[in-house]
Amino acid sequence: MKGKKLIDPSDLTTTEIEDLIKLANQIIQNEEKYSKCCENKLLATLFYEPSTRTRFSFEAAMLRLGGKVIGFSEPNSSSVAKGESISDTIQTVCCYADIIAMRHPKEGSAYVAANASTVSFINAGDGGHFHPTQTLTDLLTISNLKGRLDNLVIGLCGDLKFGRTVHSLIKAMSRYQNITFIFISPEELQVPDYIKKEVLEKNKLKYDESTNLEEVISKLDILYMTRVQKERFFNESDYIRLKDMFILDLEKLKNAKKDLTILHPLPRVNEISTEIDDDPRAAYFKQAKFGMYIRMALILKFLGIEVD
Ligand code: NCD
């Protein structure tokens, strides 16, 4: 995978994903062994949009591998504020760094950046489009907590229109056997048509749509909650009307399976009541931790570093 570029989850084959999950688990079991293997390597994190987990987990991953990190979390502190194009910024950063992770509010920006990059490039989220490293995080979490990536009924709830983590996860899971999706959202925030046509219908995937979480919760093996993506709305009043339509609380969990796994890419706003946090089915903070390990594995593979 040396020198590879990751824009969309399908840029990785299922075998490559399996290898990344395996390596992440080896790192979890023996972190010390990997703590110096990126000693002379530099990661650049270019964040044109806010982030806590993605940026920190990338940076923590590189630092825990013994590497170094440069970058910005606020584009106005770089030449972006002077009007520099993405392509010029990337070509410049390639002079200094060995691998780049970039988040940008515009869909498609990751393609432009990846084309300009002469080093490994990772899309850390491009607008409402894709977020492949969150998906790798989700896959490691599901694989470790469920013991499988097939034969699952997955409920995705919340903002399925603008949520890039949702689009990426659907795309990635569509390659495994016997996956059923249940999409739970207000009508205005349903999964976009291009995902339905190009991913779900093309691969003959089973899916249902619902506007009522309680009605479907008993069927689910995984419930993936998401925040309504305020920053992608054109109109504040629509956001206010839709933002609290789905709030998961203990009452709603009553009919859920005992071994349901509740995931959320975070940040949470209101959509999961904090009373759920102590329920053994709540796995979103474990998921955030897995995010660092899968990024450690990804950095090693993309830099072509083998540890035996
Ligand atoms: C997500 C994102 O940025 O798309 N956060 C994350 O990376 N863990 C989800 C969100 O912001 O709602």
CATH of residue 178: 3.40.50.1370
Residue 308 domain-assigned (yes or no): no
pLDDT band (50, 70, 90) for residue 79? confident
How far is the centre of ligand 1, averaged over its atoms, from the C-alpha of 242 (Å)? 18
Pairing state between β 42-47 and 222-225: unpaired
Predicted confidence (pLDDT) at residue 172 exceeds the cutoff of 90: yes
Residues 254 and 148 in one domain: yes
Residue 254 domain-assigned (yes or no): yes
pLDDT band (50, 70, 90) for residue 160? very high
Residues 282 and 299 in one domain: no
- Cα(131)–Cα(137) distance, rounded to whole angstroms? 10
Predicted confidence (pLDDT) at residue 70 exceeds the cutoff of 90: yes
Predicted confidence (pLDDT) at residue 80 exceeds the cutoff of 90: no
For ligand 1, atom 12: residue with the closest CA:
227
Tally of domains in the chain: 2
What distances in angstroms separate CA 93 from CA 44, 119, 217, one per listed residue? 7, 9, 46
How far is the centre of ligand 1, averaged over its atoms, from the C-alpha of 56 (Å)? 13
Atom of ligand 1 nearest to the CA of 266: 8
- Cα(1)–Cα(22) distance, rounded to whole angstroms? 15
Report residue 160 as tokens.
Answer: 């399925």
Residues 178 and 261 in one domain: yes
How far is the centre of ligand 1, averaged over its atoms, from the C-alpha of 308 (Å)? 34
The type of residue at 260 is L
Residues 201 and 122 in one domain: no
Residues 149 and 245 in one domain: yes
Structural domain including 57 reads 5-131+291-303
**Mutate-to-test residue for ligand 1 from 103, 131, 270, highest number of ligand atoms within 8 A of CB:** 131
Segment 241-287, tens digit of pLDDT = 999 889 999 999 999 999 999 999 999 999 999 999 999 999 999 99
Ligand 1: does its nearest atom lie under 6 Å from the Cβ of 131? Answer: yes
How far is the centre of ligand 1, averaged over its atoms, from the C-alpha of 103 (Å)? 11
Residues 123 and 190 in one domain: no
Q: Look up the pTM and report it.
A: 0.97
Residues 6+ apart with CB under 8 A from 91: 116, 117, 118
What distances in angstroms separate CA 149 from CA 83, 130, 136, one per listed residue? 44, 20, 12
- Cα(97)–Cα(156) distance, rounded to whole angstroms? 37
Rounded-to-10 torsion of CA 25, 306, 31, 141: -20
The conformational region for residue 151 under phi > 0 = left, psi -120 to 50 = alpha, else beta, is left
Predicted confidence (pLDDT) at residue 3 exceeds the cutoff of 90: no
Residues 299 and 238 in one domain: no
Residues 143 and 284 in one domain: yes
Report residue 27 as tokens.
Answer: 């790192």
How far is the centre of ligand 1, averaged over its atoms, from the C-alpha of 73 (Å)? 15
